[in-house]
Chain A
Amino acid sequence: MITLWHYLAVAAALFGIGLVGFLTRRNMITMFLCAEMMFQGVAINFAAFGRYHGNLQGQAFVLFIIAVAACEAGIALALFLTLYRRGRSLDASDWQALREAGVPPVIDTEPLPTEVTVPDDLLAPAGVRPKTAPTEEPANV
């Protein structure tokens, strides 16, 4: 038998996973999606409590949550765009100059793994293969 407890447990787990993602990930878009996942956890809580009490108040509240999430999405994506224009990156740690006084900066010591490009065996011998990949201009947004 599925009880109220089951739904609260799933909601708590979804919120917890979203929290982990929000705290650990550095891509601002991924952080934003994790925050949305935390919203979903809270929405399940409200819907389950509404069901438990046999009325629609919980569902009405979820509608407001969705409205606030939409506002948050609009503002957040506008902010990402502005930050990207300034830093050419979606890395939230690029803005660590804004941290509180006395907090040590995060310095990435480990080098990023380099991608090994495998030569393409399937390319037809007649085809002319460019020596170097064309350098791509960063998107001018």
Chain B
Amino acid sequence: MNPSSLTPTQLAAGQIALAAVLAVDGFALLVPRPRGRRVAAGVASLLAAVAVFAAWVYKTFGDPMPDLIGTVLFYLFSGSALLFGTVLVTQANPGRGAIAFAFVILSTCGLFLLLAAPFLMAATVIIYAGAIIVTFLFVLMLSHAGGPSDENNRSREPLLGSLAGFAFTGLILFTLYVSDAGLKPVAAGEAPKPAQRLPAQVLTPDERAAVLSAVEKLDAVETQLPGDGPVADRGAVRDHFDAVRDQIGAVVGSDARSRDGSLPARLEKVPTQPGGKVAPLRGDQQSARVLKRAAEVRRLNETAHDAVSSHLLDGKPDRPTVKAELHKLRDEVLLLAGSGDLPARNVSNLGYLLYTDHLLAVELAGTLLLVATIGAIAIAQRKGAAA
């Protein structure tokens, strides 16, 4: 069969299936058992699976990645989570398995941090630190010291078990690939579809850099407008504030209807008929807040520029008014630069959400914990032992 005659979807299915089969082979060879465990072949097979998968990822996301640090951290954390998960499954010694599990937890915490969930990261570290120590305690207490044993050196159905796990994973990956329009290669003459990006990018890094440099220029207002009296070099001052206005306007737009800013162009739907209502493209609160703030910045931008023109360059200079307007604009632009980033006050917002929307669930979880405590004591209690 000619590989070039396959459709991209078939090729993706083939690559995912190949990676899954290699992973099944690797895990089947690596899980502990008395005979036939071949570590070198298993590791080689797993590496081949990773290579096939990485080749597919590179082919699908071959475009240069703008957010380099975030990308590197993501691959670092997810790679180490999967690596130590593999060690946990394939390691015969349960104590070493528990150490590998600790690293899985730490890597997951890194992913939580990348997902703007600092409270979850802290909670997971605290809770699982205790859980892992208790697990260690049990391993030390209950494992037979030294020597191979049935529970550690034998596996149930290594091949079928690995097949079940990786058939599941492969099918999920393939479903994700098919369902996400942004992942598919674009055929000739067809417009590329947007990927399902995480809304961390309400404000792109370029836009953030642009508004931050505008803030720097606004901070330089003292050097631009020294002393009292009429402005000496009107042309230079006018150029300076025109540049600031254009720089901010390139991001938020110069007026509400023309939609020439990059932010409204990306986040707002074009009205179908002239004069129609402008609707946001995304329903999430973050983008709604950023759009509201952008509208405020747009208004202040015009006001400040008018103030510069009317109070400073024409007629009698009124510096305090102009400076107050520029400071107001500067503060609002700085807030715009920071919005859409990691949510500030994650802990208080999460607590507010838990105790307003999910109060009943919190009560139920507490009850569940109480019942589990009683149950654990009841189960572990020795019959006839002193209470």
Q: Are A33 and B97 in contact (CB under 8 A)?
A: yes
**In the assembly, what is the distance between CA of A91 and CA of B364, in Å?**
34
Task: Render A104-129 as a binary contact track against B, CB cut-off 8 A, 1 for contact.
Answer: 00101011111100000000000000
Q: Does B39 contact A (CB under 8 A)?
A: no
Determine the main DSSP class of B at the interface with A: helix
Name A20's contact: one of B33, B66, B165, B361 (CB within 8 Å): B165
CB distance from A72 to the nearest CB of B (A): 8
Residues of A23-48 contacting chain B, CB below 8 A:
23-30, 32-34, 36-37, 40, 43-44, 47-48
B172 touches A12 (CB 8 A): yes
- Contact check, B120 vs A62: say whether CB atoms are below 8 A apart: yes
Task: Output the nearest chain B residue to A10 by Cβ-Cβ distance.
Answer: B78
In the complex, chain B residues 117-175 whose Cβ is within 8 Å of any chain A Cβ? 117, 119-120, 123-124, 127-128, 131, 134-135, 138-139, 141-158, 160-162, 164-166, 168-169, 172-173
Docked-complex contact A93 and B156, CB < 8 angstroms: yes
Interface size of A by Cβ–Cβ distance < 8 Å?
A: 86
**Can you name 29 A-B pairs with beta carbons within 8 Å?**
A1-B195, A6-B74, A6-B78, A7-B111, A9-B176, A12-B173, A15-B168, A16-B169, A17-B82, A17-B86, A17-B169, A20-B162, A20-B164, A24-B156, A24-B157, A29-B94, A29-B142, A34-B88, A50-B115, A53-B284, A56-B349, A66-B124, A70-B131, A78-B376, A78-B380, A92-B151, A92-B156, A93-B156, A112-B153
CA distance A50 to B142 in the complex (A): 40
Known interface pairs A2-B74, A64-B365. Does A14 touch B151 (Cβ–Cβ under 8 Å)? no
Q: Which residues of A contact B120 (CB under 8 A)?
A: 43, 47, 59, 62-63
Q: In the bound complex, how far is the Cα of B156 from the Cα of A108, in angstroms?
A: 10
Instruction: Decide yes or no: A115 and B368 within 8 Å by CB, A37-B104, A53-B284, A60-B350 being known contacts.
Output: no
CA distance A140 to B142 in the complex (A): 10
A20 and B161 within 8 A (CB) = yes
Q: Which of B71, B157, B353 has the most CB of A within 10 A?
A: B353
Task: Give the number of residues in B that approach A within 8 Å (Cβ atoms).
Answer: 110
A133 to chain B, nearest CB (A): 9
8 tightest Cβ-Cβ pairs between the two chains A and B: A54-B284, A16-B169, A20-B165, A71-B372, A23-B161, A21-B89, A24-B161, A91-B151
B105 at the A interface (CB under 8 A)? yes
A113→B35 CA distance, assembly (Å):
8
| Smallest Cβ-Cβ distance to B148: which chain A residue | A112
Given contacts A1-B66, A16-B165, contact A36 B27 (CB under 8 A): no
CB within 8 Å for A10 and B111 given contacts A47-B117, A54-B284, A66-B127? yes
A25 to chain B, nearest CB (A): 6
**Could you tell me the distance between the alpha carbons of A78 and B374 in the complex, rounded to whole angstroms?**
11
Which residues on A sit within 8 Å (CB–CB) of B82?
Answer: 10, 13-14, 17
| A41 CA to B369 CA, complexed, in Å | 22
One digit per residue, 1 when the CB lies within 8 angstroms of any chain A CB and 0 when it does not, for chain B 64-106 equals: 0111001100100010011001101100001001100100110
* Residues A57 and B85 in contact, CB atoms below 8 Å apart: no
**Which residues of chain A have C-beta atoms less than 8 A from B67's C-beta?**
1-2
Encode B294-315 as 1/0 by CB contact (under 8 A) with A: 0000000000000000000000
Whether a CB of chain B sits under 8 angstroms from the CB of A139 is: yes
Please report the C-alpha to C-alpha distance between residue A6 and residue B78 in the assembled complex, in whole angstroms: 9
Of the listed residues A23, A53, A72, the one surrounded by the most CB atoms of chain B closer than 10 A to its CB is A23
Chain B residues in 8 Å Cβ range of A85: 382
Contact A25 B196 (CB under 8 A): no
